[in-house]
Structure 1
Amino acid sequence: MDTAARSSTSIIPHVEFAAIRHDMEHSDAQREIIIKKSRDVQKYSKQAIFAAHRNDTARCGKLLLDAAVIAGEILPILTELPNLRYGSFSNAMEEYAEARCFQTFLGSGRVISPTELENVERDEYLGGVLDFTGELNRYAVARATKRDVQAVVNCRDLVEGLMGEFLQFDLRNGAIRKKYDSLKYTLRKMENTLYELSLAEAGFKKQEDPEAEAHEKQAEREHQLESL
């Protein structure tokens, strides 16, 4: 057949190209919806953490409920286009998991289980738990200013327990690995906070009992003389 005589229809799949363009336009439109709604999920989750730090449990619970409702509105889109989960929505659900972790800890002193977090996938849960330890450190510092040593000890013990769990993972380079690497610094900060509290407590006791402090100094001088 003469090339000039061929119709463009026979050499270019116009219908298929049109279908591809339609799919891409549809995917882009759905992606914009996910990005917009995910911002709200993330915003409400951050606000819930702030409310939890201020001991406003009612507002914290309301914000997390609102975040969960919006996340539920996104799920039908992800059922159709699962590849759109990774990005804005996954980041938002990680923030949501972090907020739920902090809420649960303040309410019952434990780490929430993944089965209690609806619509949160494995890596989102792990990332949320690791981020939660940062909020736990802020909480521990706040309790330390109130001389609540036991609260700081509880926070330290929980982070230490999580360290033990994460040590059993074979984490490869990635977002979860980076978050895990910061966990040891969080634990160190809590240890330092407890150490500073012990020093402050020792100093306070000396001020309360100056006679005991004098005896301690006298004993130290005698020890120095004996060592000469």
Structure 2
Amino acid sequence: MDQHDLDFINSQLEGDIDLREKIKEQVHEFDKKTRTVVGLLNKVHGTTSDKIPSLLDDVRPLLVDCRTITASLAQLVPQNQFWRWKDMWSNSIRAAVFGAALVEYLGTGTLITVVKVNEILGIHDEWKDRLALPAEDYLHGLITLVNELSRLAVNAVTLGNYEEPIRISIFVKDLFAGFSMLNLKNDTLRRRYDSLKYDLKKIEEVVYDVSLRKLVAPPGQRPQPTP
């Protein structure tokens, strides 16, 4: 290689190193925000149902605050280089999806959509060549949600909320059915999906226990959820 080529390659390498460090700084901030979100949501396991809305009110602004990070990342990443750099913030995005999904479930009893996650995190469609929410990261976040709900099913009973495991069971079974219709070719995602069977079994055992002990009304006598 001549000197011109060497200088050009060195310039490219130095540029990549500089960009990587700048992205790392933003990812570090992203991680801090998502850790705070997850830490607050962990309180749900010791919070009675009447105090859940107040807890969610504390968490929602923190999720929205992640928009500053996503905007910074979108500004840093060069055009058409999303797939080159995305692994640097994948874990942060998945944690944010989990946080948003748990807030949605606790607040409405429904599954959060990809569109709503993008809205909460401030991820715009025009950024898709620089920053986006891949389907795999969304699904990873939902699997973490199920992991957490299986734990919540147990802890809700200790707090005297015997109906919550029933609601969790219905929600998780529906979500599991949706996953079963997907063609999951990613090995890590496939393994995590397979682990959902154990979460589902754990939830079903809790439901069986509260039903056997007659802590909840029979199916035909339970109050119907408000639309």
- TM-score after normalising by structure 2: 0.76
Name the SS for the 1:149 alignment partner: coil
Q: Deviations over 1:125-179 (max 9, x none)?
A: 1111111111222222221112322211111111111111111112124221121
2:141 to 118, 121, 128: 128
Are 2:4 and 1:15 equivalent residues in the alignment? yes
Q: Counterpart in 2 of 1:114?
A: 114
Unaligned runs of 5+ in 2: 44-51, 124-132, 216-227
Hey, what's the Cα distance between the residues in 2 that align with 1:140 and 1:50? 18
State yes or no: 1:190 paired with 2:203.
Answer: yes
Partner of 1:87: 87
Any idea what the Cα deviations from partners look like across 1:14-43, whole Å, max 9, x if unmatched? 222212211121112211222232132233
2:60 aligns to what SS in structure 1? helix
CA distance change for structure 1 residues 172 and 61 in 2, over 3 Å: closer, same or farther?
Answer: same
Equivalent residue number for residue 61 of structure 1: 60
Deviation for aligned residue 1:59: 2.4
Q: How far apart, CA to CA, are the structure 1 residues paired with 2:10 and 2:29?
A: 29
Q: Would you tell me which structure has more helix in proportion to its own residues?
A: 1
Q: Tell me if 1:158 matches 2:171.
A: yes
**Contact 1:64 1:100 (C-alpha < 8 Å) held by counterparts:** yes
Amino acid corresponding to residue 209 of structure 2 in structure 1: E
Determine the C-alpha separation between the residues in 2 that align with 1:47 and 1:91: 14
Higher relative contact order (CA 8 A, sep 6+): 2
Instruction: Supply the AA of the counterpart residue of 2:203.
Output: M
Residue 221 of structure 2 corresponds to none
Q: Which residue of 2 aligns with 1:208?
A: none
Distance in 1 between the 2:151 and 2:35 partners? 14
Structure 2 match to 1:43: 32
Deviates more, 1:159-168 or 1:191-200: 191-200
RMSD, matched Cα = 1.9
Distance 1:161 1:52 in 2: 23
* Percent identity between the two aligned chains: 23
By how many angstroms is 1:69 displaced? Answer: 1.7
Counterpart-to-counterpart distance in 2, 1:172 and 1:158: 24
Structure 1 position 200, deviation (Å): 4.0
Moved more, 47-56 or 175-184: 47-56
Q: How many residues align?
A: 191
Displacement after TM superposition at 1:105 (Å)? 0.8
Larger radius of gyration: 1
Distance in structure 1 (CA, Å) of the matches to 2:26 and 2:34: 13
- The CA distance in 2 between the partners of 1:183 and 1:49, in whole Å, is 20
